[in-house]
Chain A
Amino acid sequence: MNLTIKATKNNTFDAVVVGSGMTGGFAAKELTERGLKVLMIERGREIKHIEGYDTAMKQPWEIEHRGKTTNVSAEERWANSRFWGLGSEEVVNHLTNDKENPYIEKRPFDWIRAYHTGGKSMHWGRQSYRWNKQDFEANAKEGIGIDWPIRYEDLEPWYAHVEKFVGVSGQKEGWDVLPDGHFLPPMPMFAPEVHFKKMMTEKLSRPVTIGRIANLTQPQKVHTDLGRASCQYRSKCARGCPYGGYYSSLSGAIPAAMQTKRLSILHDSIVSEIIYDEQKKRAIGVRVIDQHTHAVTEFFAKIIFLNAGSINTAALMLNSKSNRFQNGFGNDSDQVGRNLMDHQLGSGAMASIDGFEDDYVYGQRPNALYIPRFRNWGNDKQTAYLRGFGYQGGASREGWESGVNADGFGADFKKSLTKPGPWSIRIGGFGEILPNPNNRIYLDSEKKDKWGIPMIVTDAAFVENDWAMRKDIIASAVEMLDTAGFKNVTSYDRPTHMGLGIHDMGTARMGRDPKTSVLNAYNQVHDCKNVFVTDGAAMASSSCVNPSITYMALTARAVDYAVKALKKRES
C-alpha cells in the first residue's frame, strides 16, 4: 500500500540533505552551524556512534570465522565482498546486502556500498590528501574532459577548515605535488621504512612520507568537545571506533550538527525523486519511500543538498523527471551519470627485507606510507599515458601467517611462530582515471527494485591509458623495492574492475558551461540553483589521491555560498 502524506508544516525545513555519509554529514554540520533547520534523509538503518559498533570490542576468538568471508556472506554481499576483508564478520553486516539492493553490471563494476548512518565514512581508510594545483589545471592543459571551474586557491581555505575539524595526522614536507595541510603530529615510520625513504630520496629522487590520516594522534579541543579521544592503535577502525579515534560522520559531523539542535535525521528513508515546481522554477522538496513499509512521504525545503554518493546521486537525478527536466533533473547537458571515474587499484609489488631483526613495534599502526605521484610530474614525461599514480603500503613483521607457506610442523615449528617473523614490505598503486563520457551509469528502462525505483546499470571499464599506467605501476614498484635492496621482489596484479578503488566520482560534474556540465563553480545545479551536489559526482577529474577530504572541502565551500545566497534572497 502506498500512501502519500501531503505537505504539512512538520515536513518543511530550511534545507534537506540527502545521505548521511562523508559529505552529507559535513553538509549538515555546516548548514546547521549557520543557523539552518536541516532534515538529513538516510536510506539505510540507524547506527549509533559507539553503541552501534557491535563488533568493535570483540576478541579475535569471538569472531566465529576469524576474518574469512563465509559462503553466505559472499552470496549476499556479492559486490562488497570483492574488496579485501569486507566480507568478514567484523564488518560485513555494516555493508549493503547486494542481493536485496542489486544493480545491473552491463560491464562489471565493483560497487562498494554502506547504507546506514555515516555511509562509507564508517569504513574508509582515512587517507587524506589535498589535491595539488596541477590537478585542477590538467584537464584544460591537456584538452581532457572539461576544465574545472575552480582552482586550488579556491579550495585552499576549505581544506584547512575541514582538516582542523576532522583531525588529520601527517608530516609537512613542502612538496608541490602533495600540498601540506593543517596536521596533527605524524605517526612514526618503522625502521625499514626509514631506510626505504632514504634510498628512494637518494637513488631515485622519489618522495616518500608517512600516510596523512584522519586518526587523532593528538586530539584538540574541537575533537574532545565532541567526545572524541586519541587513537589507541588497535587498527580495528573498520569495525567502528568506540573512542572516536578516527573521523567519520558518526564521530564528528553528525554529533556537531546535533549540538546545534537544528538537525533532524530520518532513517530507512529512500529519496526517490526531487520535486520540481514548474511555476517557481525551483526544486521544492523530495519524495521519500520508507524502506520497510514502502510508504511515500514528501519533505519540503528551501535548499537541497544531494550527498547520496556519486552513483546514487546521479541515479536520483535521472529518476527525477518533470516537464522542465524530461531527461532527468538538471540533465540538459546529458552529462548526468557520465564520466564515472575511480582510482585503479590492485597492482604493485612486495618483497622480503633482510635485517632489522632487532626492530619491532608496539601497537598497531592504522596507517601506511604514502609515495606521491612522480610520473608526468616535473621533468618526467611518459609517452604511454597521461597523469600519474601514488602508492600506499608499508613494512611489517610477519606473524604466524608466514607458517602457512613455510615447510614444517611440530613443536619447534609451533614455537618459531610465536616470535616476530622477518620484515616484509608491500606497496600498491592508486592510479588516476580520466573522465570519459562512455564510462557511466544509467537507469534501466524496465527493471525496477523492490521500491519501484528503476535499477542502476553500470557501464564502465578501464581504457588504454589505464592499462599503460598499470604496467608502469607494477614496473616502478618493482624498481623501487629492488633499488632499496629488498629481496624476493615480486609484483602482483589482481584482476579488478572500476569501482574497487571505492572512489567513484564524476557523474554530475562541475564546469563553466551548462552545455557540457551539470554544476557550476559552487556545486549548484546550473538550471536549478537551489539544488547543490557536493559528493564525488561533482568531480571533473579524479587526481590520484584519495578524494574524501576534497569532497568535504567542496561541501563546506558550497554550503557557505548557499547560505549566503539564501540570506540574500530572503533579506
Chain B
Amino acid sequence: MLGGAFSAPTLMAMNHWEQATSPTIEGAAFSLSDTHRKIVAEIAEMIIPRTDTPGAKDAGVPAFIEMMLKDCYAQSEHLSFTEGLASMEQVKFLELNEAERRGVLKYLEQQTKEKMKAMPKGTPFWRLMKELTLLGYFTSEAGIKASFDYVQIPGKLENIKLKPNQKAYAY
C-alpha cells in the first residue's frame, strides 16, 4: 500500500506515533543498526550541514549521538528514538531526494511541537536528534573553533559593544 502516491509527510501523519511498534530495548544494550546509523548521520548532517565550516559528520556527531543515548538517556528515550527511526525507515528516508528529506524533517518538526505539548514520557525522536546534534557539534573541537570565538582563559570581565557580524564567544 505504500507508494509514491502519498508524500512522505502524509504517510507519517497517517502513522500515529502511538501506534508505532515499540521494540523492547535493554537500557545499557542500546545500539543502532547500520541502517539506523545512516539515517542518524544523514539527519544530523541536514541539521548542521558542511558549509564553509565543518558539518555534523565532520565533527563526529553521529557517533556522539549514539553514545549519548546509550550512556545518558533512559529507556523511554531509547524507545522513542528507535520508533522515530522506524518511521524514517518506513518513509524510505534514505531513498528520498534532498527536497523530500527536507519536507519530512519540516513535517516532523511541526508534529514534534504538538507532541511535546502533551509531555510525552520519552522525548520525541526529532527533539532528541536536534538537541544531541547541536550539543555534539557546538561542543566539539571542530564545531567550537569554526563557529565561535573560543577563549579558554578570558582573564577579565567587561561589558562590550557587539561589532557587526561578531561571533559569539565560547569558553
What is A's interface to B at a CB cutoff of 8 Å? Answer: 59-61, 63, 65-66, 68-72, 187-188, 190-191, 232-236, 357-365, 397, 399-401, 403-404, 407, 409-411, 413-415, 417-421
Specify which chain B residues have a CB less than 8 angstroms from the CB of A66 in the assembled complex: 68, 135-136, 139
A410 touches which one: B49, B148, B159, B171 (CB < 8 A)? B49
Please, how many angstroms separate the alpha-carbon atoms of A415 and B138 in the complex?
A: 11
Q: How large is the interface on B (under 10, 10 to 19, 20 to 34, 35 or more residues)?
A: 35 or more
Majority DSSP secondary structure for residues of A touching B: loop
Restricting to B130-171, which residues have a CB under 8 Å from any CB of A? 130-131, 134-136, 138-141, 144, 147-148, 151-162, 165-171
Given known contacts A407-B109, A418-B148, is B158 in contact with A188 (CB within 8 Å)?
yes
Number of A-B residue pairs at CB separation under 8 A: 132
State the Cβ distance, A72 to closest chain B Cβ, in Å: 7
Please, how many angstroms separate the alpha-carbon atoms of A341 and B27 in the complex?
A: 38
B140 adjacent to A363 (CB under 8 Å): no
A417 adjacent to B134 (CB under 8 Å): yes
A188 touches which one: B134, B136, B141, B159 (CB < 8 A)? B159
B162 adjacent to A360 (CB under 8 Å): yes
Specify which chain B residues have a CB less than 8 angstroms from the CB of A233 in the assembled complex: 154-157
Given known contacts A65-B68, A69-B72, A414-B48, is B162 in contact with A358 (CB within 8 Å)?
yes
A191 adjacent to B138 (CB under 8 Å): no
B154 adjacent to A401 (CB under 8 Å): no
B141 adjacent to A61 (CB under 8 Å): yes
Please, how many angstroms separate the alpha-carbon atoms of A413 and B130 in the complex?
A: 12
B160 adjacent to A361 (CB under 8 Å): yes
Q: Is B105 an interface residue (CB 8 A)?
A: yes
- Beyond A362-B158, A414-B48, 11 extra complex contacts between A and B, CB < 8 Å: A69-B72, A72-B71, A187-B157, A233-B154, A233-B155, A360-B160, A399-B168, A403-B130, A407-B109, A414-B47, A419-B168
State the Cβ distance, B53 to closest chain A Cβ, in Å: 8
State the Cβ distance, B112 to closest chain A Cβ, in Å: 10
B157 adjacent to A61 (CB under 8 Å): no
Please, how many angstroms separate the alpha-carbon atoms of A407 and B126 in the complex?
A: 11
| Beta-carbon nearest neighbor of A407 in chain B | B109
Specify which chain B residues have a CB less than 8 angstroms from the CB of A232 in the assembled complex: 153-155
Specify which chain A residues have a CB less than 8 angstroms from the CB of B68 in the assembled complex: 65-66, 68
A359 touches which one: B155, B161, B171 (CB < 8 A)? B161
Specify which chain A residues have a CB less than 8 angstroms from the CB of B141 in the assembled complex: 59, 61
Specify which chain A residues have a CB less than 8 angstroms from the CB of B165 in the assembled complex: 419
Specify which chain B residues have a CB less than 8 angstroms from the CB of A70 in the assembled complex: 71-72
A234 touches which one: B105, B135, B153, B158 (CB < 8 A)? B153
B167 adjacent to A418 (CB under 8 Å): yes
State the Cβ distance, B84 to closest chain A Cβ, in Å: 15
A359, A363, A403, A407: which has the most chain B beta carbons within 10 Å? A363
Q: Is B51 an interface residue (CB 8 A)?
A: yes
B157 adjacent to A365 (CB under 8 Å): yes
Please, how many angstroms separate the alpha-carbon atoms of A261 and B143 in the complex?
A: 50
Specify which chain A residues have a CB less than 8 angstroms from the CB of B157 in the assembled complex: 187-188, 233, 361-365
State the Cβ distance, B67 to closest chain A Cβ, in Å: 8
| Beta-carbon nearest neighbor of B28 in chain A | A71
Please, how many angstroms separate the alpha-carbon atoms of A160 and B162 in the complex?
A: 40
Please, how many angstroms separate the alpha-carbon atoms of A401 and B135 in the complex?
A: 8
State the Cβ distance, B138 to closest chain A Cβ, in Å: 4
Restricting to B30-58, which residues have a CB under 8 Å from any CB of A? 46-49, 51, 53
B47 touches which one: A357, A361, A413 (CB < 8 A)? A413
| Beta-carbon nearest neighbor of B55 in chain A | A414
Specify which chain A residues have a CB less than 8 angstroms from the CB of B161 in the assembled complex: 358-360
State the Cβ distance, A412 to closest chain B Cβ, in Å: 9
Specify which chain A residues have a CB less than 8 angstroms from the CB of B51 in the assembled complex: 411, 414-415
Specify which chain A residues have a CB less than 8 angstroms from the CB of B154 in the assembled complex: 232-234, 362-364
A190 adjacent to B159 (CB under 8 Å): yes
B140 adjacent to A401 (CB under 8 Å): no
Please, how many angstroms separate the alpha-carbon atoms of A141 and B7 in the complex?
A: 74
Please, how many angstroms separate the alpha-carbon atoms of A188 and B167 in the complex?
A: 22
B168 adjacent to A61 (CB under 8 Å): no
- Could you pull out 16 A-B pairs where Cβ atoms are within 8 angstroms? A65-B72, A66-B68, A71-B28, A233-B155, A233-B157, A360-B160, A360-B161, A362-B156, A362-B169, A363-B151, A363-B158, A403-B130, A410-B49, A414-B53, A415-B51, A418-B147
